[in-house]
Structure 1
Amino acid sequence: MTRLPARATALAGAVLLLAACTGTPEPAAAQRRDVGVQLFQWTWDAIAAECTDTLGPAGYAWVVTSPPQEHIVGEQWWTSYQPVSYRVESRLGTRDQYAAMVETCHDAGVDVWADAVVNHMTGQDQPGTGWAGSPYSHDDYPGIWTEADFHHCGLTPNDDIASYQDAAQVQTCELVNLADLATETERVRSTITAYLEDLLSLGVDGFRIDAAKHMPAEDVAAIVADLPEGTGIAQEVIRGSGEPITPEDYLGNGQVYEFAYGKELQGVLASSPGRALELGASASWVPSDQAVVFVDNHDTERNGSTLSYADGERYALANVLMLAGSYGTPVVYSGYAFSDRDAGPPQDSDGRVLDASCGEAQEDGDWVCQHRWPQVAGMVGWRNVVGDAPQVDLWSEGDAVAVGRGERGFVVVNLGDDELRAELATSLPDGDYCEVLEAQGCSRSTVRDGAISVTVPPMSAQAWHVDARP
C-alpha cells in the first residue's frame, strides 16, 4: 500500500472521528491525502507561507524541497545539484529557516521531503568556495572527503559515463564530470547517512534520492537502512530501453519514480486520450503502490521528454488525468518560466533566490505556480475525497475521456477543439453537485437516474464529488 504521510493519515482519522461524534454518515470510502508537490527552487520562507496559505488548504500531503545543502556559487539552476558540503545553508535559505519551514508546514498538515544529492559532489575542475564559505576542489573537500573517497572508473577516456548499456560505467564513472562518491565504502555511507539523519532532526519526513540509478541498489540500501521506520524514500531511477539497470532493482529500498509514466502520457494525449487512464497496467512498470508518478519535473521540462507548462491547457489536462487515475503516488511540479534551459530562478545581486510570487505572467523568470491552477488544485481536493475507490464508468470518444471513482467522484476531460455535449453514465448518487474545477462559485450539475449531462468547452475539464453539493 502507498505510504501516506503521517499528517495525512491523522487528518483522515480525524474526519472519520468527527463523523462518528456528530452523527454524520461515515463516507463510503475513507478520505486520504497522497498528492505531493515539488516546489522547485522555492525558498524556505516561501514554502512555509505556501504550506499555510495554499498547500494545506488545497489538500496537498507533502512537499519536495530543492536540495538544502551548501552548493557551488552560480546563477544556474543546477548549482543546487553540485554540493560542496553537508551544511544546511544554501541560496534558498539558512538552517534555521529550513527548520522553521518544516515546522510551519507540519502545522498546516503538510509533510516535507528533501531532495537529497548523495551520489556526487561538484563537477567543477577548478578549486572554489561554496555558498557558505567552504573551500573545495573537484575531488577534495576539506574535513569531509579526500580523493580516496571518489571513484576513478578508468573505463572511459575522461572517466565520464559513455554508455548506459554498461552498468559499471553508470555506477562508477562520473555523470557529466560530477565527482562520483565511492558509496560502497563504509566511510562514505556513514557520512551520507549522518547528513540524512541531520535533516531528520530538523523534522524532515522523507527524501527524494537524487541520481539513485548511479549508485548500486545495495549501496542505497545501506545508506538508508538505519533511518527511523516510516522515513519516506523515493528514488530517482530513470528507466531506459534495454538498459541493465532498472527501477525494479531499487524497490527493496522504497518507492521509485516511474519516468515512463510522464513520457507515455505525453504520447497518449497526442494520439489516443482514452488510454490515459489505463497507464500503469503494464507489468513492465513499477507496481502502483511503489511508483511515484509525475507529468513533468525539473529535468524533463528542460529536455522535452514530457509535457511542460509551455504546453498550456494540454499540460493542465495531463495533470487532471494523472490525479484522476489510480496508478502510483502523484507529484505535481511547480517551477518558473525559462527559455534558457540553464537559467536559474530570480535572484538578488548577492545570488540569493527571491521568494516566489505567483501572478498571471509567464515571462522568463516568472513563477508559474502550476500547483495553484484551478484545474490542478481542484483535482487534488477531488482525489482526496475519492480515496482509493476503484475506477468505474470509464468512457472515451474521440478526444474526450471520462472516469468515475466508485460512488465518490466523476471527471470529464475534453482534449478536443470542439465543445463536448454528452449524457454519461455515472455511479454518483442522484442529486445536485457543484463542479469543482472552476476558480470560484458553484456551477450546478444534476445526476438523475445515474446519468449526468455535460457541456465541456474545448481543452478543459469538469469534475464532481460527493462532498461538493449545493
Structure 2
Amino acid sequence: MKSRTNASFFKAISIIIVTFIWSIASIQHARADVILHAFNWNYNEVKNKANEIADIGYKAVLVAPPLKSGSNCAWWARYQPQDYRVIDHCQGNKESFQAMIDALNSKGVVVYADIVLNHMANERNNSTYFPGDSALNDYQNNANYWNKQKLFGDLSNGFLSPWDFHSEACISDYNSIWQVQNWRICGGNGDRGLPDLDPNGYVRSQQRQYLQALKDMGVKGFRVDAAKHMTNWHMNQVFTSSIKRGMHIFGEVITGGGTNSSDYRNYLGPYLSGTDHDAYDFPLLNTMRNALRPGGSMTLLENPIAFGNALPGSRAVTMPITHDIPTNGGFRYLILDPSDEHLAYAYVLGRRDGAPMVFSDSTGVDNNRWVNDYRQSDIKAMVRFHNKVRGQGQETIYSDDCVLAFRRGKEGVVGINKCGGDRWVELRTNEKYYWYRNYRDTFSGETFQINSSSKWVRIPGRSARMWYAD
C-alpha cells in the first residue's frame, strides 16, 4: 500500500509540474502573437472585420478605451474619462464592446483594452466632480439605456469627488519623478490639465472593480496608458493577482533610449523591476532608428538586448510606431521614413523576441498614412512569416553597416538591407537548414533550395526578404 501511495503521489506531482510548465509555456507563447492596434476604430467596425483580422493572422486586437467619455469624437477624448462604471463614447458602448469580443473570440482572436487610470477629463471648467450633474440626470432619465451600458456600481450616485484627486499643479519638469507621478499633464497656454487621481482606498477599489468587470466580459489584456505617471505601489494595488491571472498587461512608458538614458532610469527601469507587467519597447524603437538612419549600422540590431538597447523578449511589446508618435507634436521626431518603417516591421515581425504590434489608424493623420495598414500586402506577408516561424530560435547569419541576416531555427531566414544596392549573403548550411525543400519569400513568392554546403541569397536594396520553409 505504501509503494502504491508513493507512486500515486509522485504521479500527481508530475502531472502538476507538467501542467505548470505547459501553462508557463502557453503564456509566453501567447505573448509572442501579433497584436493589431485598431487605433480609434469603432467597436462595430472591429466586429465586422473579425473574419479578415483572423485570416491575416492577428491573435489579439487592442481597442479604444472602454469607458464613458465626452461627445467630442476626436481620438484624444477617449483618453479623458468621465466615468469607469459605464461604456459609452463615439466608438461604441458596452453592448457593441461585448459583441466585438464575442465575434473575435469566435475566430480565435482576443481583445486587449486600452485603459486610463491616471487621470480624468479636463472639462466643465476643470471640475473634479465626476461624471457631473448632467450625466447623473441622464442616467436617471434614461435608466433603461444606461443600465445596459453599466459595468459596475450605483449610477444614482456620483463616481468621483474633489477628495479623490491630487492638488492642482502642472508638471513643469519631466525629470522630477514626484511631479510626473503627482501633478497634472497640461497642454500649456493656461491649460489647467487633466485632474490627476489620488490612489486612495476608494479610487483603488473602483479601479479594481472596473478591471474585473472588463475581464469578466472576456478582455484578455490591458494596455496601461500613461503608466509612467502612476507609482508602482498604485499599479500593484490595482492589478491584483486575481485580475492579472491569464491576462497580458503592458504599460506605455515612453523613453528616448535604452538603459543609459535618464528616462529609462527614472521610469521604465523602475516600472519593469517594480511590477511584473510588460512594456512598449521604446529602447528597441530608438535602436532601430539609430541603425536605419544614414550613417547608422545594422549591427546595432544583432543583439540589442545584450547592450541594454532593447527590453528582454518576455517583457517587450515591439513596434516601429505607436499612436502617440504621429498624433503628439513632442514625439513626431520618432516617425520613420516609410521605407525604413517597412524594414523595421520586417525586423520586429521576423525576430524571436517580443510581442510585435501593428498600428492601424482611423484618424487619417499624415494624409492617411497608416489607415488600413493592418491589411497592407507587406504587413500581411510579414504576419504570415511571423506565424510560420513562431517559437523558433534565432541565430545571426551576417551583419554589417547595411545588412542584417538571421535564421529562425530551420524554419526561416530574414535578410534586411537598408542600403541602395543589392547584397548577397552566404548561408552555410551544415545541419542548419532543410535540404531539398523550398524556402519561399513571403513577399515575392520566389523560392530557393539548399542542395550544397553553401548557398548565396540576394537581398535587394532598401528591402527585406523573409523566407520560410514550405
TM-score range, shorter chain: 0.7 to 0.9
Q: Is the contact made by 1:399 and 1:414 (CA closer than 8 Å) also made in structure 2? A: yes
- In the TM superposition, residue 65 of structure 1 has moved relative to its aligned partner by 0.7
Paired position in structure 1 for 2:108: 109
Q: Is the contact made by 1:410 and 1:428 (CA closer than 8 Å) also made in structure 2? A: no
After TM superposition, the structure 1 = structure 2 runs for residues 381-392 of structure 1, keeping only pairs within 5 Å, are 381-392=384-395
Pairing partner for 2:300 from 272, 275, 283: 275
Taking a change above 3 Å as real, the CA distance of residues 238 and 212 of structure 1, as seen in their structure-2 partners, is same
Paired position in structure 2 for 1:369: 372
CA distances 1:292-323 after superposition (whole Å, capped 9, x unpaired): 22111011234224235xx2222111100112
Mapped to 2, the partners of 1:188 and 1:245 lie a distance apart of: 25
1:324 aligns with 2:350: yes
Paired position in structure 1 for 2:246: 230
Taking a change above 3 Å as real, the CA distance of residues 200 and 306 of structure 1, as seen in their structure-2 partners, is same
Taking a change above 3 Å as real, the CA distance of residues 430 and 32 of structure 1, as seen in their structure-2 partners, is farther
CA distances 1:423-466 after superposition (whole Å, capped 9, x unpaired): 43353212242534327xx4222222254443333322221222
Mapped to 1, the partners of 2:221 and 2:206 lie a distance apart of: 18
Paired position in structure 1 for 2:172: 162
Q: Is the contact made by 1:40 and 1:65 (CA closer than 8 Å) also made in structure 2? A: yes
- In the TM superposition, residue 196 of structure 1 has moved relative to its aligned partner by 1.1
- In the TM superposition, residue 97 of structure 1 has moved relative to its aligned partner by 1.0
After TM superposition, the structure 1 = structure 2 runs for residues 82-121 of structure 1, keeping only pairs within 5 Å, are 82-86=80-84, 87-121=86-120
Taking a change above 3 Å as real, the CA distance of residues 287 and 393 of structure 1, as seen in their structure-2 partners, is closer
Mapped to 1, the partners of 2:357 and 2:387 lie a distance apart of: 14
1:424 aligns with 2:445: no
Mapped to 2, the partners of 1:32 and 1:420 lie a distance apart of: 33
Q: 162-171 or 391-400: which moved more?
A: 391-400
Quick one: higher RCO (CA 8 Å, sep 6+), 1 or 2?
1
Mapped to 2, the partners of 1:432 and 1:250 lie a distance apart of: 46
> Over aligned residues, Cα RMSD in angstroms?
3.2
Taking a change above 3 Å as real, the CA distance of residues 62 and 96 of structure 1, as seen in their structure-2 partners, is same
Q: Is the contact made by 1:61 and 1:111 (CA closer than 8 Å) also made in structure 2? A: yes
Q: Is the contact made by 2:299 and 2:400 (CA closer than 8 Å) also made in structure 1? A: yes
Mapped to 2, the partners of 1:46 and 1:450 lie a distance apart of: 51
Paired position in structure 1 for 2:287: 264
CA distances 1:163-192 after superposition (whole Å, capped 9, x unpaired): 122221111100121110101x11000111
Q: Is the contact made by 1:43 and 1:93 (CA closer than 8 Å) also made in structure 2? A: yes
After TM superposition, the structure 1 = structure 2 runs for residues 151-300 of structure 1, keeping only pairs within 5 Å, are 151-152=166-167, 159-176=169-186, 177-183=193-199, 185-225=200-240, 226-227=242-243, 229-239=245-255, 241-243=261-263, 245-251=266-272, 252-270=275-293, 271-283=296-308, 286-300=311-325
CA distances 1:396-436 after superposition (whole Å, capped 9, x unpaired): 24422211012121011222222334443353212242534
Pairing partner for 2:443 from 438, 441, 448: 438
Q: Is the contact made by 1:248 and 1:286 (CA closer than 8 Å) also made in structure 2? A: no
Mapped to 2, the partners of 1:398 and 1:337 lie a distance apart of: 36
Paired position in structure 1 for 2:161: 146
Q: Is the contact made by 2:415 and 2:464 (CA closer than 8 Å) also made in structure 1? A: yes
Read off the aligned partner of 1:406 and give its amino acid letter. Answer: G
Mapped to 1, the partners of 2:122 and 2:363 lie a distance apart of: 25
Mapped to 2, the partners of 1:94 and 1:394 lie a distance apart of: 50
Q: Percent identity?
A: 27
SS of the residue aligned with 1:112?
strand
- In the TM superposition, residue 366 of structure 1 has moved relative to its aligned partner by 7.0
More helix by share: 2
SS of the residue aligned with 2:381?
helix
Q: Is the contact made by 2:397 and 2:427 (CA closer than 8 Å) also made in structure 1? A: no
Q: Is the contact made by 1:433 and 1:464 (CA closer than 8 Å) also made in structure 2? A: no
Q: Is the contact made by 2:120 and 2:197 (CA closer than 8 Å) also made in structure 1? A: yes
Read off the aligned partner of 2:442 and give its amino acid letter. Answer: L
Read off the aligned partner of 2:433 and give its amino acid letter. Answer: L
Read off the aligned partner of 2:66 and give its amino acid letter. Answer: P
Read off the aligned partner of 1:458 and give its amino acid letter. Answer: G
Paired position in structure 2 for 1:359: none
Paired position in structure 2 for 1:408: 411
Mapped to 1, the partners of 2:89 and 2:386 lie a distance apart of: 35
Mapped to 2, the partners of 1:265 and 1:319 lie a distance apart of: 10
Q: Is the contact made by 2:31 and 2:354 (CA closer than 8 Å) also made in structure 1? A: no
Mapped to 1, the partners of 2:114 and 2:297 lie a distance apart of: 34
SS of the residue aligned with 1:333?
strand
Paired position in structure 1 for 2:58: 60
- In the TM superposition, residue 70 of structure 1 has moved relative to its aligned partner by 1.5
CA distances 1:8-31 after superposition (whole Å, capped 9, x unpaired): 959x9xxxxxxxxxxxxxxxxx99
Taking a change above 3 Å as real, the CA distance of residues 365 and 125 of structure 1, as seen in their structure-2 partners, is farther
Taking a change above 3 Å as real, the CA distance of residues 31 and 92 of structure 1, as seen in their structure-2 partners, is closer
Mapped to 2, the partners of 1:433 and 1:31 lie a distance apart of: 28
Paired position in structure 2 for 1:17: none
SS of the residue aligned with 1:245?
helix
Mapped to 1, the partners of 2:41 and 2:362 lie a distance apart of: 9
- In the TM superposition, residue 112 of structure 1 has moved relative to its aligned partner by 0.8
Q: What TM-score do the two structures reach when normalised by structure 2?
A: 0.78
Paired position in structure 2 for 1:344: none
SS of the residue aligned with 1:64?
strand
Gaps of 5+ in 1: 13-29, 154-158, 341-363
Paired position in structure 2 for 1:306: 334
Mapped to 1, the partners of 2:309 and 2:433 lie a distance apart of: 33
- In the TM superposition, residue 32 of structure 1 has moved relative to its aligned partner by 8.7
Read off the aligned partner of 1:325 and give its amino acid letter. Answer: R
Mapped to 2, the partners of 1:428 and 1:58 lie a distance apart of: 27
Mapped to 1, the partners of 2:446 and 2:291 lie a distance apart of: 30
Q: Is the contact made by 1:238 and 1:259 (CA closer than 8 Å) also made in structure 2? A: yes
Read off the aligned partner of 1:324 and give its amino acid letter. Answer: G
Taking a change above 3 Å as real, the CA distance of residues 62 and 277 of structure 1, as seen in their structure-2 partners, is farther
Gaps of 5+ in 2: 1-20, 138-155, 187-192
Paired position in structure 1 for 2:36: 37
SS of the residue aligned with 1:84?
coil
